Structure 1
Amino acid sequence: MKKIAMIPARIGATRFPRKLMQLLGGKTVILRTYESTVNTGVFDEVIVVTDSDEIFQEITGNGGKAVMSLKEHESGSDRIAEAVKDMDVDIVVNVQGDEPFAQREALEKLLAEFEGEAGKKVQVASLMQELKDAKSVADPNYVKVAVDLNFNSLMFSRSPIPYHRDKNVTPIYYEHIGIYAFRKEALLQFTSWPMTPLEAAEKVECLRYLEHGIPLKMVVTEYMGVEIDTAEDLVKAEAFLKANS
């Protein structure tokens, strides 16, 4: 199977404008994301797909691969689908541009879900990590995911799920990490559907798969670093980078 990573990268961001061009340890966030993804060594190719000339130049000017989107898109998946439509590829991994700490082990586990007989049934897979901090569980910037006993996604939400009604039970809360993989055909099918009601309400694009009856196979991983959604996250990322350098 040919496996590629695509990094959707738009210059605008509601919560933190121009976050991908912010400096993190002397390099922009988007360049760090690209380099960390390449350095995992698990992909045949890594490409940034962007609507920004500035981001395009940042990547190509540093020896990386990037393509420009031809039109506006509602989601990162839509942006990626446009880029891979005519490419010869089997598995496409969406690495969010604000995830600068990609790690080999987690990505290998994600790609392994598509292997063997059982893997033939998997259309979409994604990563999640356990959330143990109550403040993070309540924070809408952290997308939570509930899974069934086979780790297939049941629901994604910015609200805490499950609701902790019975105080004698200790629920496990999982954060959806913005790195997920799809078979090319599933991705192209996704882009043929209009935005769905839950997706529109939550602004969580993978809900579109659930609303069409396609679960995501979820893979538990250890801490992936810091997803940069806010200026405070950038400060956390700086601290994480220094602690792991």
Structure 2
Amino acid sequence: MNDPVIAVIPARYASTRFPGKALAELCGKPMIQHVYEKAQASRADLVVVATDHELIKTKVESFGGRAVMTSPDHPSGTDRIFEAIQGLPGDIVINLQGDEPLLPTSVIDALIELMQNRPDCPMATVAVPAPRARLADSNIVKVVRGADGQALYFSRAPIPFLRDGGTEMPLYQHWGIYAYRRRTLARFVALPPSPLENCEKLEQLRALENGIPIQVLLSRLSSIGVDTPADLAAAEALMKQQRLEANR
């Protein structure tokens, strides 16, 4: 029998580009509720929202969800998650972003299955194919995998670079969903920010720089991350379209 799987959704109230976005209405529900319901429908045994604001905690509890208050001083969502799981059972921890309301539940399940079938895997994440033109955007994180499926590098730059005369190859956009062994998560948050992490402002580089391998699961499904009000409008349009197609 597998250990319980904990899915944690870090939800900070303050956001530089979109303050309070976890509570933004999306098709009649706050965005955090959409993410919570996606997680609850997955194979995770426990779903928890880790927040730093009473408004988010109250909203989560109003729709029957579970939320815990965490320190407002955490430098990252990963630190917030580690605080939230203290006292909870489970060896596998899934980090779900509170701004991914369209993340398919099947992707969460595939990540859980990978970790359960690979007890040697300390950390895993997800990537999706993307056209080279899209990857010119520095806000979109790219990942290059090795032959064994492990991440070689993550970057805001369009990698791998296609040199004149070079051979094109599949390109992958990284999704910010992670799975950790509890001991790996404890080790990760105890490490100081690494030079590469500080350079690219990508937290996952701390793991690679310190010898923690990250398995990259490939998916062909799609989602929309919400960083701005414009993203919220795009997510709502896609959600309505998906509902129409499902009801045909």
TM-score, normalization: structure 1? 0.93
Alpha carbons 1:141, 1:229 under 8 Å: kept: no
- Please identify, of 154-163 and 100-109, the stretch whose mean Cα deviation from structure 2 is larger: 100-109
CA distance in 1, matches of 2:223, 2:183: 30
Q: Percent identity?
A: 39
Alpha carbons 2:10, 2:77 under 8 Å: kept: yes
Q: Are 2:68 and 1:54 aligned?
A: no
CA distance in 2, matches of 1:157, 1:168: 20
Alpha carbons 2:132, 2:171 under 8 Å: kept: no
Moved over 3 A (4+): none
Give the structure 2 partner of residue 200 of structure 1: 198
Give the structure 1 partner of residue 167 of structure 2: 169
Q: 1:112 to 1:39 in 2, by over 3 A?
A: closer
- Please identify, of 77-86 and 165-174, the stretch whose mean Cα deviation from structure 2 is larger: 165-174
Q: How far did 1:120 drift?
A: 2.2
Q: How far did 1:105 drift?
A: 2.1
Q: 1:167 to 1:17 in 2, by over 3 A?
A: farther
Give the structure 1 partner of residue 28 of structure 2: 26
Give the structure 1 partner of residue 6 of structure 2: 4
CA distance in 2, matches of 1:16, 1:171: 35
**What is the aligned counterpart of 2:223 among 219, 222, 225?**
225
Alpha carbons 1:225, 1:240 under 8 Å: kept: no
Could you tell me which runs of 5 or more consecutive residues in structure 2 were left unpaired when the two chains were aligned: 244-248
Aligned residues: 241
Give the structure 2 partner of residue 130 of structure 1: 129
TM-score, normalization: structure 2? 0.92
Q: Give the root-mean-square deviation of aligned CA atoms.
A: 1.5
CA distance in 2, matches of 1:200, 1:111: 29
Give the structure 2 partner of residue 95 of structure 1: 96
Give the structure 2 partner of residue 113 of structure 1: 114
Q: How far did 1:168 drift?
A: 4.6
Q: Give, as a single letter, the amino acid of the residue that structure 2 aligns with 1:26.
A: G
Q: How far did 1:237 drift?
A: 0.4
CA distance in 1, matches of 2:132, 2:169: 13
Q: How far did 1:32 drift?
A: 1.2
CA distance in 2, matches of 1:164, 1:244: 35
- Please identify, of 160-169 and 147-156, the stretch whose mean Cα deviation from structure 2 is larger: 160-169
CA distance in 2, matches of 1:13, 1:141: 15
Give the structure 2 partner of residue 191 of structure 1: 189
Q: Give, as a single letter, the amino acid of the residue that structure 2 aligns with 1:129.
A: V
SS state of the match for residue 126, structure 1? Answer: strand
Alpha carbons 1:37, 1:103 under 8 Å: kept: no
Could you tell me which runs of 5 or more consecutive residues in structure 1 were left unpaired when the two chains were aligned: none
